[in-house]
Amino acid sequence: DQQVKQNSPSLSVQEGRISILNCDYTNSMFDYFLWYKKYPAEGPTFLISISSIKDKNEDGRFTVFLNKSAKHLSLHIVPSQPGDSAVYFCAASVGEGGGADGLTFGKGTHLIIQP
Amino acid sequence: DTGVSQDPRHKITKRGQNVTFRCDPISEHNRLYWYRQTLGQGPEFLTYFQNEAQLEKSRLLSDRFSAERPKGSFSTLEIQRTEQGDSAMYLCASSLGGSFGPGTRLTVT
């Protein structure tokens, strides 16, 4: 059973607009969440993270929102740029400091930025 | 800091052969993770080292898989008697998040 779910396999957004990627989780023990970006034939690249004690974290064009009661998080990218086209993975863990079970990933959302 | 490196980047092998992959983590990171990613899926956790100690193994890691991290530096992942179902991208991460290597793409024919 998938503990981290990304229900949209793909998302197409016009350049300059906002991209919103969604993620749901089922394990209430998760307390640290991360977003990764992945290009083909490369490893995932860390984008932004959020601890469960917060509901928002911002870094440049990237903002992650966490709704603990709904077990939902989202990644907002504003403005979207062509270089943002990639697969985005949501990941979760128990503990920020280095849990022994590693990260649990969703299946990813392929974001396509159209000119 | 040159990041996490993995070798080889690509490996094609025949079913039944043994393969070994290497991961060199960021030098000051004492935690090292191995993941496997198949097509259309996110990375799945395989095993975790803290320094040289292997502290956790996923049930995905069958008896044909073994990982080591001698001296708490680089790590190796060996797959014995490879099967076609082992074809995947094998990823190494240094620390809990943030630093993944480029991966080793394994194809078993």
Residues of B in contact with A108 (CB under 8 A): 41-42
Question: CA angle, A94 as apex, B70 and B73 as ends, to 5°?
Answer: 15
**Which chain B residue is nearest to residue A93, measuring alpha carbons?**
B96
> Which residue shows structure tokens 């052969």?
B17
Give the torsion sign (CA, A17, A50, A110, A42): positive
Instruction: List the beta bridge partners of residue A76.
Output: A20, A63
- Asked whether B42 and B50 are in contact (CB, 8 A), the reply is no
Residues of chain B with pLDDT under 70: 1-2, 96-98
Residue A2 gets which letter from DSSP? -
Residues of A in contact with B44 (CB under 8 A): 105
Tally of CB atoms within 10 A around B10: 11
| pLDDT exceeds cutoff 60 at A38 | yes
In whole numbers, what is the pLDDT of chain A averaged over residues? 94
DSSP 3-state assignment of B107?
strand
CA-based nearest distance A102→chain B, Å: 6
Selecting from A36, A93, A106 the residue whose C-beta is nearest the C-beta of B96 gives A93
